Amino acid sequence: MIGATIHNVTVALSDVDRGVYETLELRMARHPSESMRYLVTRLFAYALSYEEGIAFSKGGISSTDEPPVSIRDLTGVLLAWIDVGSPAAPRLHKATKAAKRVALFTCADVAYLEREEIHRKEEIDVTSLDASFVDTLAERIDRRTEIELVRTGGALYVTIGSNHFEGAALAKRLGAVQG
C-alpha cells in the first residue's frame, strides 16, 4: 500500500484584506487519492483562514467526521469547520451544527448546494478559486516549496521561485452563490 506524500510548504502570507502577516511552515500529507488541485485548495483554505488554533485534520481526505481544516479554541471547542472541494449537502449540514462558523474553499460550481436543505446555509462562507489558476500552481508545488501569497481586494498574488501568478478568491455567502 502506498502511503501519503509529505509536502513541506513555507508560505510568506500577506493577507492585506484581514491584516494577517505570517510565515507559515506547513507539513501537508497528501493521500494517494488526493489530487494536487485539492492539495493546493486545502493550502489556500489554511492560509486564507489562518488564525490561532488552526490545524489540518488528522484523518485527511478520507475523513467524513472532520473538516480538512479546522479552528479550535484552547479548550478544544470547534470554532470553524473549513471544508474543501465539493462536499455533499449532508456534510455541510453536519458542519453547521458542529461549528459556529463554516467556510468552503472550492474550484467547483457549488450551485447544487442551493437546492439542498442545509442548516444555517446562508451563513456558510464560500471562497471560489479559479481552477486553471489552482492547477497552474499545482504544477509548481514540490515536496519542498516556498510560496509568497498576497491577498488584497480579493485578488491573489502568488510567487513560487521566480514565477509570479495572479488569481482571485471570490468570497460570497452560500445563499448568494449564482449557478
Q: CA-CA distances (angstroms) from residue 89 to 78, 85, 136, 142, 177?
A: 20, 12, 29, 33, 15
Domain regions of the chain by residue span: 5-176
Q: Which CATH superfamily is domain 5-176 in?
A: Restriction endonuclease-like alpha-beta roll domain (3.10.640.10)
pLDDT over 90 (residue 125): yes
Whole-number mean pLDDT of the chain? 93
Whole-number pLDDT of residue 147:
98
Predicted confidence band at 3 (pLDDT cuts at 50, 70, 90)?
confident
Whole-number pLDDT of residue 179:
46
Whole-number pLDDT of residue 173:
92
With the C-alpha atoms ordered 12, 130, 60, 51, is the resulting torsion angle positive or negative? positive
- Among 44, 96, 100, which residue's Cα sits nearest to residue 72? 100
Dihedrals phi, psi of 93, to nearest 5 degrees: -60, -45
pLDDT over 70 (residue 148): yes
Chain segment 30-81, per-residue pLDDT in tens: 988 899 999 999 999 999 999 999 999 876 565 668 999 999 999 999 999 9
Residue 44 cell numbers, joined: 489556500
d(CA 6, CA 29): 5
Whole-model pTM? 0.94
Dihedrals phi, psi of 96, to nearest 5 degrees: -70, -20
